[in-house]
Structure 1
Amino acid sequence: MPDVGPTAVLPRRPLTVGELLDSAVLLLRGQARLLVPLGVLLALGEQLLLQPLRALAGTQPPEWFPDDDRFGWYWLLLAVGAGTEAAIIAVLGNPAARGAGAALLGRRARVRELFRDARWPATLLLAAVVGLTVCLAGLAGPAWFIGYGLLGAVVPVLAVDRVPAYRVPGRTLRLAVRAGGRAGAIRLLGYLGWWLVRLGLGLGLWYGLGLLGLFDLDPWALPIATVTWAGVNAIAYPALACLDAVLHLETRMRTEGLDIQLSRAPAGTPEPVLLAVRR
């Protein structure tokens, strides 16, 4: 086994919350050439998908605040938006998780490798289920916190643990509630942090352009807001997928002794076998 020291993307030991956040950023940097372009396409598609609901809710860019008379439509917009971003993060979680697995073994995965034997049909199906579940939880208000917090490991379990698709939900929920729900709480913390970053960048660019006074923003409000929010989310969504990936492997090290299993594995064992859950 290669020596993985403290400066590795994902050290082979349980990590602190700060170290997990750092590992997620390092993983994003290492896999940015794949994750960011995918994030751009998915985030832009999300903006186009949500636009009809925004019109029904009477919202205006860039804040997309609701019309008082259409709060029902706005609530639906929030729930659908929560579902789409959860589904996007899940899709990005496939290459992110495979990249994290390679990082745990002391190397950087190549782009082609991340697409090879990646179980994409099952990934897309589970991502749709995650999106629908979070959307329905969003309609129930505070239930969104539970739905989002519990479902972070869905695609990492599929892509790295290599369990059958029908076993993925059960294993995901068990991992999320271990150690007092630590994984779910950290996932929510990461989301909150990136939500604040997205809000600051998304609104900051708009009001910054307004202060410069170079041109009238009103005729360009929709395209500027669409491009701005898509650009911000194109970084935030891959970052959250990377957090899910490293959090999943760290949870396995913390609660299942994955790091010990790797240290004792015979030389020459194929990488998928090293990381797969023994059944």
Structure 2
Amino acid sequence: MPETGPTVVLPGRPLTIGETLDSAVLLLRGQAALLIPLAAALAAGEQLLLLPLRDVAGATPPLWWAPSLSAFAPFWVLLSVGAATEAMIILLLGNPAARAAGNALLGQRTTARELLRAPDGRWGSTVGLCALVGAVMLFLSLIGPTWLVGFALLGAVAPALVIDRVAPSRAIRRSATLALRVDGRGAALRVLGYLVWWILRVGLGWGLLTALSTLGLVSDRWAAGAAMLVWAMVNAGAYAALACLDAVVHLETRIRSEGLDIHLSRAATPRTPADLLAVGG
């Protein structure tokens, strides 16, 4: 098995909730050179995409809250689109994060260059599933709080695709199945992770924008641009962290429910990503 200890990304055993969150942070730290710039580009694109919807809804910076109930309908659409784009970005980031997590479980270090150049990255299937997940999340968000259920169940789509190597048509079902195992532990951890990072995002974003405004560093003319930049920066870190959490939770759930750790302990060395396919693939 891979080495164990407090600084190991995935020690190859069932983890506590705290250890799972720590493992996700360690995975992000090891892959920050790739995940953070990629997340920043996607988060910036998200801000540009949402800008016209914010104008229609009358949402104003820094929190982009609609000022009146008369704008509730367009504001709800804005929130729904935002929920869908968040899920899509996390899924895209989940591709390299999951491949890095799989290699970490095998005791291998993965560089950003290796993740980018991997011939078996399955990016085409990832983009296709990204569009499908985005459509599902948009629908669930429009009809009400059911978006939370969708978010909880869809965390392992990218890991199922690139670690388990299931067919794209099976990835969503595989994700939901794993999320509900062990009394829904995976689903609960994903929701917990989202809430933790949501609180951090609001605190950091609001605090930074308030500080800039108090110091007179941002004029009213540039308030919208500054808010978009700050939220893109804050969201980039959160999205990358949540993608890493999805990857860790996926593998930890397989260890708990499929005996993945036992299978790997019996595998011949050196272990390869193919050894991750044999259990519950």
Q: TM-score range by the shorter chain?
A: over 0.9
Q: Which of 156, 159, 177 pairs up with 1:156?
A: 159
The DSSP-based 3-state class of the residue aligned with 2:163 is helix
Name the structure 2 match of 1:63.
63
State the shift of 1:6 in Å.
Answer: 4.2
Alignment of 1:175-254 (within 5 A): 175-213=178-216, 215=217, 217-254=219-256
Name the structure 2 match of 1:265.
267
Tell me the matched-pair count: 277
State the shift of 1:67 in Å.
Answer: 3.4
For the Cα contact (< 8 Å) 1:163–1:277, is it kept in 2? no
Name the structure 2 match of 1:33.
33
Inter-partner Cα distance in structure 1 for 2:242 and 2:218: 35
Inter-partner Cα distance in structure 2 for 1:6 and 1:203: 33
Inter-partner Cα distance in structure 1 for 2:92 and 2:220: 35
Inter-partner Cα distance in structure 1 for 2:219 and 2:19: 41
Unaligned runs of 5+ in 1: none
Name the structure 1 match of 2:96.
95
For the Cα contact (< 8 Å) 1:4–1:105, is it kept in 2? no
State the shift of 1:144 in Å.
Answer: 1.0
C-alpha RMSD over aligned residues: 1.3
Q: Are the structure 2 counterparts of residues 225 and 216 from structure 1 closer, same or farther at C-alpha, using a change threshold of 3 Å? A: closer
2:225 matches 1:256:
no
State the shift of 1:63 in Å.
Answer: 1.1
Name the structure 1 match of 2:108.
107
For 1:194-215, what per-residue CA distance to the aligned partner results, in whole angstroms no more than 9, with x for missing partners?
A: 00000011111111122223x4
For 1:12-64, what per-residue CA distance to the aligned partner results, in whole angstroms no more than 9, with x for missing partners?
A: 10001110100000000000000000011000000000001000000111111
Deviates more, 1:118-127 or 1:202-211: 202-211
For 1:221-275, what per-residue CA distance to the aligned partner results, in whole angstroms no more than 9, with x for missing partners?
A: 0110010000001111000000000000000001000010000002244x12111
Identity of aligned residues (%): 57
The DSSP-based 3-state class of the residue aligned with 1:161 is coil
The DSSP-based 3-state class of the residue aligned with 2:144 is coil
For 1:75-118, what per-residue CA distance to the aligned partner results, in whole angstroms no more than 9, with x for missing partners?
A: 00000000001000000000000110111112321123213110
| AA at the equivalent of 1:152 | G
2:128 matches 1:125:
yes
Q: Are the structure 2 counterparts of residues 216 and 5 from structure 1 closer, same or farther at C-alpha, using a change threshold of 3 Å? A: closer
For the Cα contact (< 8 Å) 1:102–1:109, is it kept in 2? yes
Unaligned runs of 5+ in 2: none
Inter-partner Cα distance in structure 2 for 1:70 and 1:2: 54
Inter-partner Cα distance in structure 1 for 2:270 and 2:96: 24
For the Cα contact (< 8 Å) 2:3–2:11, is it kept in 1? no
For 1:110-143, what per-residue CA distance to the aligned partner results, in whole angstroms no more than 9, with x for missing partners?
A: 1232131100000011111111111111112210
Q: Are the structure 2 counterparts of residues 186 and 216 from structure 1 closer, same or farther at C-alpha, using a change threshold of 3 Å? A: closer
| AA at the equivalent of 1:109 | T
